[in-house]
Structure 1
Amino acid sequence: MPNISDAANGTITRKPLGRRSFLGLLGGAAFFAASPALLTACSTGASAPQATTAGGLAEAVAKLVPKYIPMNLVQPDIPGVNGSTPGFTTIPTELVKSVPKPPGSGGTYTAMSPAWWAIPRGLPDNAYYQAVNERLGATVEFQANDGNTYGDKIQTVLASPRDVPDWVVIPSWNIPPRFGQAAKGLFTDLSPYLAGDKVEKYPNLANIPTAAWKYSCFEGGLYGLPMPTPLVNDAFFYRTDLFEEMGLEQPKTADEYITIAKEITDPSKNRWGSEDVWNGAQIMHGVVPKWKLVDGTLVNKFETEEYRAALEWIIKLFKSGAVHPDAVAGNAQQAKPRFESGATLMTVDGVGGWHEALGRVLPTNPDFNMQPMDFFAPDGGDPTLFSGQPAGIFSFIKKTEDTARIEELLALANFMAAPFGTEENLLITSGVEGKHFKRDAQNIPQMTDLGRAEVTSTYQFLVSPPTVNSQVQYPGFVEAKTEWEARQAPFVQEDVFFGMQIQEPPQYGSLGAPFDDLAKDIARGRKSLKDLDSEIATWKQNGGEKLREFYAGFLTA
């Protein structure tokens, strides 16, 4: 295959803005604070603000979270820049053993987790699970569920306390309304075990950035074990190999994107320029995550000029005929296969999907090459990017009075949180050497067929160490990913409510939901921007103004 870093050369160079970069969905960052009184339970309808991790003096939250004790076992080959993720282009020859002996006491635990891949076989037929559990000294039995419908599964499980597994993974986007109350009733407050110096018993957990822990607090307690996330979460990707064959360069403006997408499109060759890139359109146009402060007044994202401009652009893209017909029909689940097969040449995906795609496609198509585009403003100038949150996925331990059981689970979590450069981390991420992976001449683990079938992110979803770029299986990948992320970092800023785990009053929880379907309809020409104005008016009437007041309370608390 081509060296991946080669295709990263010659990309857009922009003047840094000098802003403090965010530590996005996969990293830690400064924590926005409000009043300690806001650490109370989520209201059932009161108008007062309720934030589960906000605190004006930050003292209330600080009492809940572990002391940060960083580990520096190995130095990165490519240091982070402006908060971007550091890169490791090699695997250390000698690994550190961070957990001297099996941490478990022989317990058996069920763990529910999402899977966005073919669900692997479970115990006792999965050699990867067997090997990790042997090192753990305990048995974790995974109940893997389709990630695309996982939100529905969470709702069902939380409604039946008796059915709650011992360990439950919940992605941030699947957290249901009024979750704070559920957390307090169903899950264990971990602050008595981890807060402050107590975490010293679990050094790998102490190595997780403080902001990720703060974002794991609900209802005045530390309920979540976090999965920190990298600097930039989503990206525009393009099929670099096919672009080069066609003599094309990646677009550098919003108009160029549509022009190139149209040029690529040839239905007779089953080839279209683009997937539905609505999420990317919003990023390109600098749309805020939720709220924007304008002259001291909060403006919802749906009310902003940037949101309207993003809609205007996506309308043009769909009208151009360059969007794949299945994407137009709303079939988003097949977007990855379409892009990987060359049926579409530009898409938007999570950055983590890059490495996953290489694993799926390179064995049968060694010329496959995809690259993330550097972000650009619609006119080709500097982009305005907003930080995600310091953790993207959480796991929760079922509430129990058995302290020994909780301590055993935390000991297992400490093993799973072992950082890059340790024996434990290599086992969690790659499985057993000689069985799930083999080292090549450069000491790089290469997955076997069994490894590709069995090794997944299940343990990593339960808890993860600080994120690093260390996926060295494909030449040039770490360099390309690390350098791309560093180029985006200077353009990132924090939105007004960055880092706050806010539980909205339940009557407002789904207030913005109609805008999702409306955006799809407007893009496809079934509705117009006049319908956006009408929906905004309805939103205000049905509680939008009250919700604005709710959030404004955090600005003065």
Structure 2
Amino acid sequence: MSRSLKFLETDRRTVLRGGVAAAVAALGGGVLASCSSEGSPSGGGGGGGGGGGATVDLPTYQRFEGATPDFPAAAEGMNEGFRAYPSGPERMITDDLGDGEVISFMTNIPGAIPPTRDSNSFWQAVEERIGSPLEISMSSNDEYKDKFATRIAGGDIPDILNIPKDVAQLPDLLEATCLDLTEYLSGDAVLDYPFLANLPPQSWPDTRFNGKIFAVPVPRGMSRTSAPIYRQDLTEAAGISEANPGSFDEFMDLCAEMTAPGANRWAWASMPSQYIQQMWGTPYLWAEDGGAFTHMYETEEMLGAIEDMIAVWAAGVVNPDAYTATGGAKKQWLAAGTATFIHDSFVAWNQFYTDNPTITEMRLNMLDVPGRDGGQGSPWMGAANNNITAFNAETTHDPEVLLAIANWMAAPFGTEEYLFRKFGVEGEHYELTGTDPVPTALGSSEVGIGLQYISDAPMALYLPGRPDVPETQAAVQAAMVDRLVDDASYGLYSETKSRMNAQLEGAVNDAMNQVVQGNAGIETFTDAVETWRVNGGDAIRGELEEAYAAEHG
């Protein structure tokens, strides 16, 4: 590149960065609609790439033939399941990955903030393994959106950046601050990074904007599909041998059976709004038909679902504090047995066990979705990615160094790299029971430093020492997979959506919650939907339809 052209590119980035910084500063904490923790249902199946309508070849998919699953994925989208960790896992990468210089990374942390590098033996072991010091700036899920906005606005950008999918003006942010990775990842170029090539094809549209690939995905997919997780030990103790209801009426009977307010027990920790919508077959956010887009708010099925939500709340089968309690409190209700059902994901399913090791009687399962009046309902596919990870355009590190580290972070289940990255060093951070790594107290404290948000392998159904868990999870996924409904807006960029979606949908959801609790009539919801259309919903629709037309011709 000539000096003059390089100057022009640098000047262009400066102008773009200034515009993005101004937008972030103006939006403040609202720059992110949300920063959902692992295991929590998140709004939207995507909302990623395709900005500007330009096309680029996404990375070639090349499956890594590694460990043989006990429960193979019977259909596209399912997670593979394993009863135990394979014995004698092979180390696939022996070369140094880093360049010996400090690599900085910014991320959220879903659990407790771990000890700092100086007092964290796992962190130090990771640095030794990759060949570079890692400077990791961590924030809790609740704080991350504000700290992200502040650092972007101030131009304080690390080498590696965990970017939630719902950042406002994401294409401009990427153009202004992040490396264009197209030459390294597009098409067969990704095959130089075989573990990135092993990531699901449906994860990559989130990384493509304006005809370029700017990031690597952190895949989730069906592991983030959410449905009612329930305490099977409690339903069986109540004499219910088969908890899956076949209709809304049977669902109500089940809820009544598991509710005893006098004993401080309610069937539900939270209002099962999404579950009821799925019974009715409402779209997952946006539906597309012939290039025309319809939001779930605009459907007759949504009105029917709200009517049933009103009946559920009036029946008193939901904890009366459900609308004011935190997500953490609701999870504690399930663990304590004061709630039987909670709407959450396969990721959360495992987390309930790991967070509550002393509740040995707890056995979890997940309800399938029936049709409202019988038959089968329409569960929603989980978000393709947890986040995307981009690299600072002004990093002093070679892009291939950062990509090699991301590739290492994506080493799949069954490899030695995966075992080390997830569980640490044997004898320090975990002990083997058979071939399964069981975390020690030190491991539970130190290992959660956020590496899974640089990149990650496709999720596997697995819980150390609990072969029954992946077996149950695989059966649930197999029953659902052929009926999963996608958000039609996934992979399509809408500028209005990126800036306003949180406020627009928040107002409608607030209105719905008031209606469900009996504080307002249904016209409050329908009026809110009309306001949503006028204030931005119709603009989002138009932009999605335009992006869809550009993508599909």
How would you bin the TM-score normalised by the shorter chain? 0.7 to 0.9
Equivalence for 1:373: 367
Equivalence for 1:217: 208
What's the secondary structure of 1:200's corresponding residue? helix
Equivalence for 2:106: 112
> Aligned pair 1:92/2:79, yes or no?
no
Equivalence for 2:355: 360
- Structure 1 unaligned spans of 5+: 1-40, 45-49
* Pick aligned residue for 1:551 from 505, 522, 544: 544
TM-superposed CA distance for 1:382, in Å, is 0.9
Deviations 1:282-319 (A, max 9, x none): 33332212323468743221111222222222211111
Deviations 1:428-468 (A, max 9, x none): 1111111111111x321111122222222711121012232
Task: Check the 8 A contact 1:215/1:501 in 2, yes or no.
Answer: no
> Aligned pair 1:348/2:316, yes or no?
no
Equivalence for 1:101: 95
- Distance (whole Å) between structure 1 residues aligned to residue 278 and residue 427 of structure 2: 43
Distance 1:257 1:156, change over 3 A: farther
Alignment of 1:231-310 (within 5 A): 231=222, 233-248=225-240, 249-252=242-245, 253-276=247-270, 277-293=272-288, 297-310=292-305
Distance 1:52 1:239, change over 3 A: closer
Which amino acid in the other structure matches residue 422 of structure 1? Answer: T
Equivalence for 1:160: 154
* Pick aligned residue for 1:227 from 201, 204, 218: 218
Alignment of 1:46-57 (within 5 A): 52-53=49-50
TM-superposed CA distance for 1:79, in Å, is 1.3
> Aligned pair 1:474/2:466, yes or no?
yes
What's the secondary structure of 2:274's corresponding residue? helix
Deviates more, 1:138-147 or 1:340-349: 138-147
TM-superposed CA distance for 1:146, in Å, is 1.4
Which amino acid in the other structure matches residue 414 of structure 2? Answer: G
> Aligned pair 1:450/2:445, yes or no?
no
Equivalence for 2:414: 421
TM-superposed CA distance for 1:507, in Å, is 6.5
- Distance (whole Å) between structure 2 residues aligned to residue 431 and residue 524 of structure 1: 47
Which amino acid in the other structure matches residue 100 of structure 2? Answer: G
Distance 1:54 1:61, change over 3 A: farther
Task: Check the 8 A contact 1:52/1:502 in 2, yes or no.
Answer: no
Alignment of 1:101-180 (within 5 A): 101-161=95-155, 163-172=156-165, 175-180=166-171
Equivalence for 1:408: 401
Which amino acid in the other structure matches residue 50 of structure 2? Answer: T
Which amino acid in the other structure matches residue 157 of structure 1? Answer: R
Q: TM-score, normalized by length of structure 2?
A: 0.84
- Distance (whole Å) between structure 1 residues aligned to residue 81 and residue 94 of structure 2: 27
- How many residues are matched? 501
Distance 1:287 1:437, change over 3 A: same
- Distance (whole Å) between structure 1 residues aligned to residue 435 and residue 540 of structure 2: 55
Q: CA RMSD in A?
A: 2.6
* Pick aligned residue for 1:521 from 514, 519, 533: 514
- Distance (whole Å) between structure 2 residues aligned to residue 197 and residue 298 of structure 1: 33
Equivalence for 1:14: none
Q: TM-score, normalized by length of structure 1?
A: 0.83
- Structure 2 unaligned spans of 5+: 1-18, 24-46
- Distance (whole Å) between structure 1 residues aligned to residue 253 and residue 346 of structure 2: 25
Distance 1:197 1:496, change over 3 A: closer
- Distance (whole Å) between structure 2 residues aligned to residue 290 and residue 425 of structure 1: 34
TM-superposed CA distance for 1:261, in Å, is 2.3
- Distance (whole Å) between structure 2 residues aligned to residue 298 and residue 217 of structure 1: 22
- Distance (whole Å) between structure 2 residues aligned to residue 207 and residue 458 of structure 1: 21
- Distance (whole Å) between structure 2 residues aligned to residue 401 and residue 272 of structure 1: 53
> Aligned pair 1:77/2:74, yes or no?
no
Deviations 1:5-43 (A, max 9, x none): xxxxxxxxxxxxxxxxxxxxxxxxxxxxxxxxxxxx99x
- Distance (whole Å) between structure 1 residues aligned to residue 519 and residue 145 of structure 2: 28
